[in-house]
Each structure stands twice: as C-alpha cells, then as structure tokens.
Structure 1
Amino acid sequence: MNYLIAVYANKVEALSARTALEKSLPSEQISILGEGFESTDEYGLIKPERQAKSNLQSFAYWVVPLGFACGYAFNFLENIEIPTVDGVLNQVAGGLLGAAFGLLFAFAVGSSVESNVVNKDASLYRDRLNAGKYLIVFHGTSELVKIATNTLHCFDVENI
C-alpha cells in the first residue's frame, strides 16, 4: 500500500483537490486532515503501540544475549554459588539471570523511548496542521498514486 500526502495552505484548495480526486479515484481512499476534519492521531498517522513493540524487539534482540553473556561471565569470575545448581550449570544460571535482566531492561526502555526516525515525518505533518494547513492523504496502488499525484499538481499544492 502506497501513501501520498499533499499539503495545502487553506481549506478551499484542499476541498477542491479532494473533489478532483474523487472524480477519478475511489473516495474511500481519500482523507483530509486539518481543522474540521480528522487529526493525525484520529487518522492513525502515528501508532505508538506499534512503535513501542518495534523498539522493544530491537532492544531485546541485542540486550538479552548481552545480558546472558554478562551474567555468565560475572558468575564465572566471582564464583558465586547458587545453592541448588552445581558446576557449569551454576554459570548458566547466572547467564539466565543476566538474560532476564536484559529482557526487563529492553521492556522498560524499549517501550518508553520514542523513535525519532519514525516520528519525524508525522511530527512534520502535525506541525503543518497546527499552522492551519490541510493535508490530503491518498492510499492505493502505485498506479493510483501516480494518477493522484498528477491530479493534485493541478492545484496550489505546497508539498507532496
């Protein structure tokens, strides 16, 4: 699914562009964001739950093995004895505790830190909406996006 987002300075231009798009493209694939219409959050331009899950997975990918290695090494170097485990399993148990700490760290940090790369475009659009501008969002196949782009260029578009 491809998206096309066009920025218009006023409501009249945005409505004119949407009317022109509706003549040649399916209207359920066209949305206007701005005052009196949907916001970026209502439209779903920013999905914090998906972002948090992605951050959690990317942190866990490297923090859990690192936690295991650090827990294993710490237990090996310090000769900490876990009463119910003997020998090499003692260090493995230390590694598992380190991995569990790594997973806890990934959960705490990964779900709370916002990704600036993902939010960069969405915040730019939100800033434009806060400045009183309007966005037309079209989603469809690449062929339909090309048609929509040609149609929207006929109007006083600020940015596509």
Structure 2
Amino acid sequence: MAIAVVVLDHHQDLCILRQHLVKLSTPLAGLQSVGPGETPFDQVEVLNPQLRQQRLQKAMAFWLVPFGFFAGVTFTVMTNLDTFAFAGLWGNRLIGGLLGLVAGFLGSFAASSGVDSSNEDRLRQLRNRSEEGSWLLVVESRAGQDMPWKDLQRVRPQAVVAL
C-alpha cells in the first residue's frame, strides 16, 4: 500500500482532485482531506505518529495483559515461591498474576514505542504547510495497486509527498 500526500493552495483544487480520484476506474483504498473545515492534521493517523503508537499500544495491551496475568500465576505455581506468604496459597498466586498483569501492561508501552519515525522530516514539512494554510489530500492506494501519479498532478499541486 502506497501513501502520498498532495499539498494544494486552494480548497477548490482539493474538491476537484478528490472528485476526480473518486471516479477512477480502479478505486483507491482511502482519501482524506486535511485543512480548515476538513479533518484536523492531528487526527489523521498517517500524519500523526502518536495516534499510530496509541493504537498499537492498545492492541498490544489486549494480548499482553491477560498473557502476563496467566504467566505470573504459572510462574508462582511452578516455582512454588512463597514471596507473599501473608496472603496464603491462593493470595500468593493472585498477587503473582497481578504483577504479571502489570508487567504485560508495561510491555505494551515498550513494544509500541518502536513506531517507525523515518518520515519525521516529511511530516514536519507537511505540518508546516498545513499551518501556513495549505490543503492536504492523503491518498492511499490498495495493496499491489500503483499510485495514480499523473492524476495527482492534474490540478498542479504545490507538492506531492510520498510517505
């Protein structure tokens, strides 16, 4: 899947290009307009690595938290440790499970922090252009589909940035 961001001067150019791209014979995976009256820059996941990191952290927590709990209980049972003897046999296992749960939750943060930031300079340039009043059109092609580069140049944009 290829992603390109088209930077435009006028809202009218954005509307014309968006309508043209919607009518293509091979449909695109996604079109998202960014600018005043459209989607704000910070709410577009492709343009905001923090949103991607939050989504990944939630997905990782969904799997790591329960796994951490069961791993903590299993470890406590297998090693037969009495670390929390005051809590009794089942309390000791439960505390071990809760500690594993916390470890899984912290692990989801560590795993999600590895979001690719290779496009930081390009994203900073796009943010600056957006703050200057330019309109952005985020174009996503389907897997195995070529980006319609000629069609993107149709309204003579300021720039076309590949991400």
> TM-score normalised by the shorter chain: which range applies?
0.5 to 0.7
Per-residue CA shift, 1:6-62, capped at 9, x if unaligned? 131523654453354245356995332122322246566547874442131354376
Rg (Cα) greater in structure: 1
Q: How high is the sequence identity, in percent, across the aligned residues?
A: 17
Contact 1:30–1:136 (CA<8 Å) still a contact in 2?
yes
TM-score (norm 2): 0.54
Mapping for residues 3-152 of structure 1, pairs under 5 Å: 4-11=3-10, 14-24=14-24, 30-40=31-41, 46=51, 50-57=55-62, 59-60=64-65, 63-64=68-69, 66-68=71-73, 71-72=76-77, 76=81, 80=85, 83=88, 90=89, 94-107=92-105, 109=106, 115-118=112-115, 120=117, 124=123, 127-128=127-128, 129-139=130-140, 141-142=142-143, 145-146=145-146, 148-152=148-152
Amino acid at match of 1:159: V
Change (3 A) 1:98 1:28: closer
Alpha carbons of structure 1 residues 44 and 77: separation in structure 2 relative to 1, 3 Å: closer
Counterparts of 1:127 and 1:117, CA distance in 2:
22
CA shift, 1:100, in A, is 2.4
2:146 alignment partner, SS class? helix
Give how far 1:159 is off. Answer: 0.5
Q: Name the CA shift for 1:36/1:113 in 2 (closer, same or farther; >3 Å).
A: farther
Distance 2:138 2:3 in 1: 6
| More helix, by proportion | 1
Q: 1:140 to 1:79 in 2, by over 3 A?
A: closer
Tell me if structure 2 keeps the 8 A contact 1:72–1:95: yes
Q: Distance in 1 between matches of 2:14 and 2:94?
A: 57
Unaligned runs of 5+ in 1: 84-89
After superposing on structure 2, the runs of 4+ consecutive aligned residues of structure 1 that deviate more than 6 Å are 110-114
SS at match of 1:76: coil
CA 1:20/1:62 → structure 2, altered by over 3 Å: closer, same or farther? same
